[in-house]
Amino acid sequence: MFSSAGFAKTWQYIQLFEQGLICTLSLSALTVLFGFIFALILALMRMSKIKPLSWFATCYVELFRATPMLVQLFIIYYVVFANTSLPNFKLFGFIRFDRFLPGVVALSMNSGAYLSEIIRAGIQSIDHGQTEAARSLGLTSGQTLKEIILPQAIKNILPAIANEFVTIIKESSICYTIGVQEIMYAVSATKGATYRIAEPLLIATAVYFCLTFPTSKIIAYFERRMSRGDRR
């Protein structure tokens, strides 16, 4: 049960939660960046008329969507990076790079599989007539995708992307299993030092809520701003 004494003990290790917050934000930001880039590549590969590219992207997406995130993380950390000598330094003075990088890679690969389907659906939702009109104006395929299709597709799928970003923030907690110093790692360390679990978990819950709830509202605000033109 919760108690004032338990919170007092937990508060002595509040710095661990502050470090966990920085680590979680770093994990999430890098995952969103690399995951989106990877997802865009996968989506274009899956829509490609080149059969090997389409087949590879389809197999990749189905594989990562059908297997647990924890299994993927362990394979990346214990198998893929097992014989790799990563630089042994600390980001921000406390985040171990040799554990942080595999976490980013695993989260990005997993997120890329889900985001690629969202992006593919967004691109396919744009009327094909716009592509034909762009071609008639002399735009290349790359220019059409960049200037015409993607801006509209991203606007259409922004709510789904926001949900995925919120999911990434929460799923980053799984990285504590390989020793990444994020929020749940702080909970585990505090529990080991104070023999209290309820209070650290409550603090972690509050931190996650403070990260995800404002993020959802900010994305919703920009979504409304972007959709104003459609109502005119």
Structural domains in the chain plus CATH codes: 14-227 (1.10.3720.10)
Q: Please give the average per-residue pLDDT across 202-213, as a whole number.
A: 90
Q: What does residue 96 show for φ and ψ, rounded to 5 degrees?
A: -75, 115
- Closest of 114, 90, 99, 143 to residue 36, by C-alpha: 114
The lowest-confidence range among 50-64, 128-142, 152-166 is: 128-142
The yes-or-no verdict on residue 90 having pLDDT over 90 is: no
The yes-or-no verdict on residue 105 having pLDDT over 90 is: yes
Task: State the pLDDT at residue 211.
Answer: 87
- State the CB neighbour count (10 A cutoff) for residue 145: 18
Task: State the pLDDT at residue 87.
Answer: 83
CA–CA distance from 54 to each of 21, 32, 59, 141, 194 (Å)? 38, 23, 9, 18, 53
Q: Please give the average per-residue pLDDT across 73-80, as a whole number.
A: 93
Q: Please give the average per-residue pLDDT across 24-43, as a whole number.
A: 91
If phi over 0 gives left and psi between -120 and 50 gives alpha, with beta otherwise, what is residue 92? left
The yes-or-no verdict on residue 229 having pLDDT over 70 is: no
- CA 111, CA 124: separation in Å to the nearest integer? 20
- Closest of 29, 32, 33, 36 to residue 150, by C-alpha: 36
Compute the CA torsion angle 52, 142, 168, 179 (nearest 10 deg): 70
Higher-confidence residue: 172 or 131? 172
With tokens 């929020």, the residue in question is 183
- State what percent of residues in the chain have pLDDT above 90: 35
The CA R_g of the chain, rounded to the nearest whole Å, is 21
Task: State the pLDDT at residue 91.
Answer: 85
Q: For the chain, how long is the longest CA-to-CA vector?
A: 73
The yes-or-no verdict on residue 131 having pLDDT over 80 is: no
Task: State the pLDDT at residue 24.
Answer: 92
Full-model pTM: 0.85
Arithmetic mean of pLDDT over the chain: 86
